[in-house]
Structure 1
Amino acid sequence: MVVNRGALPLAVGLAALTFALSGCGMGGDDEPAEEAGRAPAEEAATRSRERVQAYLDAMVAKDVAAGRSQFCATAHAAFDAAATSPNGDFAEHFTVPAATVTDVRPGARGQEVSASVTVSVGGQSTTRALLFTVTRTGADWCIADEVPGEAPPSGVPATSTVEPSPSSAP
């Protein structure tokens, strides 16, 4: 059998090139790499919204344990001290007939989630805004902080979604 000396190096070179290019994504499915670039931001917004909504649902249900479970372990002591205080989110003397997430945006310490909460005491209702900071701890997400937020625009029901103002839009 006669072998062409020039064909053998060419065949080896082509085999090596094919192997090297397959590791670079040539000929493969590029979609997972593209999704990886978008997924963290989308996941952060989704998980943050879910955490805060679960907390708001716990407020409506007056379920302190469920509310506490949404907070990061480092915030449990502050939650325990404030949650059932006279003006806390779970105070016995008022009800929360409506609460909803109104905005989610990236912030300096994590995702900032704005919420609108309607509180009723003795037949009088008022709507207040809260701002939550949600962070990632390991594989999970949790609320790291809660502070009073901007007041919702007048005439906006607590159950509607408020569009961010141009100054607060990302």
Structure 2
Amino acid sequence: MRPTHRRLAATAAALVLLPVALVGCGIGGGDEEPAAKPEQAPAEEAATRSRERVQAYLDAMTAKDVAAGRSQLCAVLQDGFDLSATGPNGDFADHFEVPAATITDVQAGPRGQQVSVSVSVTAGKRKVTRPLVFTVIRDGSDWCIAGEAPGGAPAAPAPTGVSPSPAS
């Protein structure tokens, strides 16, 4: 009967020591506060940050504030920004006025967040509304605009090398 006693004693000791071991490993109750939960899910944060960056750019474009517009761009785009932005067809050209600019959609895309906007531009008496798509990415711990393209929808994915058949 000795083996049964030993087995019972070992089981009792394990049951007594188990809670102590679990608390020591961080499992179980303790006086510590629970770990802080992130304020937003990653997808929500990406959409929110992207919307903020593009809205700041649109506000800068409306105000003709080139420095504020440049600050929304990723570093690789900032070098040539002043010349292209204030050129004849640039977003900040003197002869353009931007009476309205509205974000219409934010979606995850293959290269970052795709922020679709509708921009109304006047030049003299002529008013035109154009769709644009901004690509916003996370660069380190910050978000920035990595691209701007005409059109109301994100760009199609790169071709795969397979040609469609005449039936398709």
- Give 1:62 deviation, angstroms: 0.6
Superposed CA offset, 1:5-47 (max 9, x none): 8354431234224545726xxxx96993xx58x6111100000
Q: Which has the larger radius of gyration?
A: 2
Do 2:61 and 2:98's aligned partners in 1 also have CA atoms closer than 8 Å?
A: yes
Aligned residues: 141
Name the aligned partner's letter for residue 52 of structure 2. Answer: E
Q: Distance in 2 between matches of 1:65 and 1:46?
A: 22
Question: Where does residue 157 of structure 2 map in the other structure?
Answer: none
Q: Distance in 2 between matches of 1:30 and 1:148?
A: 44
Structure 2 unaligned blocks of 5 or more: 1-5, 154-168
Q: Distance in 2 between matches of 1:105 and 1:9?
A: 53
What TM-score does the superposition give when structure 2 sets the normalisation length?
Answer: 0.74
Question: Where does residue 76 of structure 1 map in the other structure?
Answer: 78
Q: Pick from 39, 44, 68: which aligns with 2:41? A: 39
What TM-score does the superposition give when structure 1 sets the normalisation length?
Answer: 0.73
Alignment root-mean-square deviation, CA? 2.7
Superposed CA offset, 1:101-131 (max 9, x none): 1110011111010111000111221100111
Name the aligned partner's letter for residue 121 of structure 1. Answer: A
Q: Secondary structure at the match of 1:22?
A: coil
Give % identity: 61
Q: Distance in 1 between matches of 2:126 and 2:18?
A: 81
Q: Secondary structure at the match of 2:41?
A: helix
Q: Secondary structure at the match of 2:107?
A: strand
Question: Where does residue 11 of structure 1 map in the other structure?
Answer: 16
Structure 1 unaligned blocks of 5 or more: 152-170
2:150 maps to 1:145: no
Question: Where does residue 51 of structure 2 map in the other structure?
Answer: 49
Q: Pick from 119, 122, 130: which aligns with 2:121? A: 119
Q: Distance in 2 between matches of 1:19 and 1:120?
A: 68
- Give 1:52 deviation, angstroms: 0.2
Q: Which has the higher contact order (CA 8 A, sep 6+)?
A: 1
- Give 1:79 deviation, angstroms: 2.1
